[in-house]
Structures are given as C-alpha cells and as structure tokens.
A and B are shown apart, each in its own frame.
Chain A
Amino acid sequence: MTAIQTRNLRKEYKGLVAVEGLDLEIGEGELFSLLGVNGAGKTTTVRMLSTLLRPTAGEAWICGHSILSEREQVKGLVDISLQETAIARKLTVEENIAFYAALNGQSREECEKTKRRLYEAFGLDAVAKQRASRLSGGWQRKLSVALALATDPRVLFLDEPTLGLDVIARRELWQTIRSLKGKMTIILTTHYMEEAEALSDRIGIMKAGRLLFVGTKEELFSRTGKKRVEDAFLEIVCGGGDNE
C-alpha cells in the first residue's frame, strides 16, 4: 500500500520557489531518506506533508487522505520530529511525554503505556524526573525525537533527527530508528550521508527544490558509478543529474 503520494507538489515563498514539481511515491513501512544541501527543499517538503505548510500547488495524499482537503485525518496519521529541539522546557521528561500524549487524545492508561514504551526505546527512564531544560543537548534531542513517537504515527517525519548529537548518541538513535523499520513509514531528512546509507530503504536527492534522483542505494551506485552514498550524492548534485 502507498503511504505517501505527491503529485506536482510546489511551494513558493514570495517569489522564491522552495519545492517544484515534486512527484513521489513511498510505500507503507518504508524508510525513505531525503538528501540535499541547505535550501534544497527537504524541510519544506516534510512540513507540507505533515500539514504544517500549505502547498502553493499540487496535491499529496497520506495513506490515501489528501493533505489539502482531509487535513484532520492526516493529522491523525502523522507526526514529526522537527529540525529544532521542540520540548516544553520547564516540564520534566515524564511530563513532556504525558502532555504530548494527552494532547493527542490518549487516556491516562495509554499515556502510561506510551511513557514505558518511550523509556525503553530511548533510555529516557534514567532522566524521567528531570526538567527538560536541565538535560544535556543530547538528551533534549532524544526527548524531542521520542515525542514524535508518542502518538504511534503511521507516518513519521524525522527532520535532521541527529543534528547536534555526538557520535555515540547518533549511533544510539540510529539503532532506535532501525527498530522502527517496518512498523511505520519513516521519512528522514539528513545531511549525514552515512546515516542515509545505514538506514534507508530508498533515497531521494533534492537540489534547488527539485527531486533529482529516487531509488535504492544500489540504483544510486549503478547510476553514478560510485560506491559510497556521499560520492554518488556529489555526482548527482554537482554533476546536474536528471530526474529518474
């Protein structure tokens, strides 16, 4: 089943085109990475698909629901971990999870289950009673990502989830993301090529708002003749690849 489908999706900000003619199809349970340099349109794309931004033109469907005409249904299916750390700073870790789960419709019992699930997945029980503002940057980031999973979404958008994490924390988060594979559809935007290489089922490469390549790692290597995602990415972005 198709989890995400976009047709000629476009976003323009006061004359500046951020995303242009995006046609994309992502299957249910797939982990899809969007790669691109700054300003490529990755964040704008995930913000449109998660209902945070209205497209200027085009259409997209999440599990068959239009992001334009069925926003409420789409909101019930998706969640997002933003590029910025998005937590309630004066609430404890436990309170943050309970707040976010309750806001999204969970009963007290469901909130408790969600807490236990996220403690286990992210090791957050060690800091459960601490205020978010007193956590290290790494723990804050983990909490921010964990909150996106509190709603157990069918489609999860992870916008630069490992930004600012040290190498150990990054690897730990990779492990958590791997454990989610197949359970939900994940769209990951990242600057880290090795992250995309390690985690993705398929990769999309964007440049200046346009999608230049979509395919598996193997297809990327075969297309570019390279053996590393970073080299292949540079070949596509700097070599002016065409839509596949």
Chain B
Amino acid sequence: MNKKKGSFSRTVTLAKRNVLEILRDPLSFIFLLGMPLLLEILFYYLFHKMTPQFEMKYLAPGIVVFAQSFLSLFSGILISIDRNTAFLTRLYVSRAKAHEFVLGYTLALLPVTFLQSALFFLVGGILDPSIWSARMIPAVLVSLLPAVFFIGCGLLIGSLCGERSVGGVASAVIAGQSVLSGMWFPLDGLDGGIVTLMKALPFKNAVDLVRSVSLGTWDGAHPAPLFIVLAYAAAVYALGVFVFGRRMRAQ
C-alpha cells in the first residue's frame, strides 16, 4: 500500500494521538486543571480581603500562566517516553518529518491550554462577578503565547532528558513560574537585583501580559512584556525543534 498522505494530515493524525495520550493520563487532569483550580478557589477565599494580590482580577491571569507551566512537564514526559521507547523509532519509518512530529505535539497541547485559560477565567468570573468582561476573550487568546513558551520548554526537556529526569528539570520551569512571576507575593520591598532578573525572564512578563489584557490596562506604548514573552517563546520553541530534529536524525 502506498504511504501517500499530506503533511497536514500526518500532523493532525499525530496530534490526535497525542491528545488521547495526554487526556488518558489522570495526572494531566490533576496538574493541568484540578490543582490550579483548587489554588484559584482557595487563595481567593482565604486571602483576597487581606491582600490585593489575590483579588480575582489579579489572581485569575496568574493562575492561567501558572497552570500553563505544567505543559512543560507533560509535553516533556510524552516526548521523552516516545523517544526512549521504540514507538518514535517505528514512526520514523513512515514519511512523517521532524517538524510534523513537533507540530503534532504542539497542536495537541494548544486546545488543552485554551481550555485551561477559559476555565480559570470562567471560575474567576463565577467567584467574583466583577471581573466579567469581554476582555476575557482576548486575554484567553493572548495566553496562548506563554503556552508556546512552555510547550517549547517541554520539547527541549523531552528531547534532552530521559524519562526519569524530565520531572526534575520541568519542575525547575514550574518553580520559576511560581517564584519569579510575582504572582503569589507583592514585589514591593524586594531587592532590585531580583526584580531586574524577574523583569528579564518570561515568567513575570507572561503574567503581566495576560493581566494587562484582561484588566484592559494594555498599553501599546509599553510593549515590553509582549516582546519579551514573544522572544522567549520563539527562541525556546526554535531550540526545541532544533534539538528534537537532531535527536531524531541521530536515532
């Protein structure tokens, strides 16, 4: 039988398989949806009257990006398992190309992150109806940018690490998002050095970007968060594609 099929069809076929692999892992639901949702509800109820940091208008965009950081873990694990078992090797005999594999992983995760963002804004709106706004729609859409950064991290980690070490390395990305984004604590009174670092990394900028769009404070005259997130997303994703391709050829 001839193996004739377009690149797009192969990519969609790969993406469908990846969606099933992710959705059938109960841990995906716990870490990508359940745990961030629980944190959103708990932190809002416990702290929103004590500190403005946890008012829903600030908390929901932060939770959206925090939950996305787990994409690096799940995409990393999936790629690493595929790479380290013979499964991916078998697929290399097909006509699928490296970029189709990479797009297959990415396309599988974008709907997941869309669902994350929509859910956390929706629940935020239910808990605090004052945040309901049409701006939630562009905020959900713009949150796909940091998602690409985290998927790129997963590509890179999954291509470089073995199945056992993926968790540890991806945890560093999740911890980076948690600690260096400023979403859990106010930055006032912090040492200038750490604030400079936070401003140079994508974590805080990702939260600032989604927050500013959802709050309607986005100012085209100060586009730094957008450009920084875009630059990191493009660089990490491109590096992930490059390393994955090299590994594929080496295998």
Stretch in A27-35, A100-108, A211-219 touching the partner:
A100-108
Are A91's CB and B20's CB within 8 A?
Answer: yes
Main DSSP-derived SS at the A contact region: loop
In the complex, the chain A residue whose C-beta lies closest to that of B22 is A90
**Chain B contacts of A90 at CB under 8 A?**
20-21, 24-25
**Chain A contacts of B25 at CB under 8 A?**
90
Chain A residues 89-121 with CB under 8 Å of chain B are: 90-91, 95, 99, 102-106, 110
**Chain A contacts of B2 at CB under 8 A?**
76, 105
- Flag A117-133 by CB within 8 Å of B: 1 or 0 each: 00000000000000100
- Is A135 an interface residue, CB under 8 A from the partner? no
Q: Bound state CA distance, A198 and B36, in angstroms?
A: 59
**Chain A contacts of B21 at CB under 8 A?**
88, 90-91
**Chain A contacts of B1 at CB under 8 A?**
104-106, 110, 151-153
Are B93's CB and A85's CB within 8 A?
Answer: no
Q: Bound state CA distance, A85 and B87, in angstroms?
A: 8
- Is B133 an interface residue, CB under 8 A from the partner? no
Give A173 Cβ to nearest chain B Cβ, in Å. 18
Give A81 Cβ to nearest chain B Cβ, in Å. 8
Q: Bound state CA distance, A36 and B1, in angstroms?
A: 31
A-B contact count (CB 8 A): 80
Q: Bound state CA distance, A80 and B17, in angstroms?
A: 20
Contact A88 B89, CB 8 Å, known A76-B3, A104-B5, A105-B2: no
Total residues of chain B contacting the partner, CB 8 A: 27
- Flag A146-168 by CB within 8 Å of B: 1 or 0 each: 01000111000000000000000
In the complex, the chain B residue whose C-beta lies closest to that of A87 is B87
Chain B residues 1-51 with CB under 8 Å of chain A are: 1-5, 9-10, 13-14, 16-17, 20-21, 24-25
Q: A75's contact among B10, B17, B90, B94, by CB below 8 Å, is which? A: B94
Are A75's CB and B93's CB within 8 A?
Answer: yes
Give A18 Cβ to nearest chain B Cβ, in Å. 15
Give A67 Cβ to nearest chain B Cβ, in Å. 12
Besides the known contacts A76-B4, A82-B86, A131-B24, 4 further A-B residue pairs in the complex with CB atoms under 8 A apart: A76-B3, A90-B25, A102-B13, A147-B90
| Interface residues of A, Cβ cutoff 8 Å to B | 50-52, 72, 75-76, 78-80, 82-88, 90-91, 95, 99, 102-106, 110, 131, 147, 151-153
Q: Which 8 A-B pairs have the closest CB atoms?
A: A105-B5, A84-B86, A86-B86, A86-B90, A152-B1, A90-B24, A76-B3, A82-B86
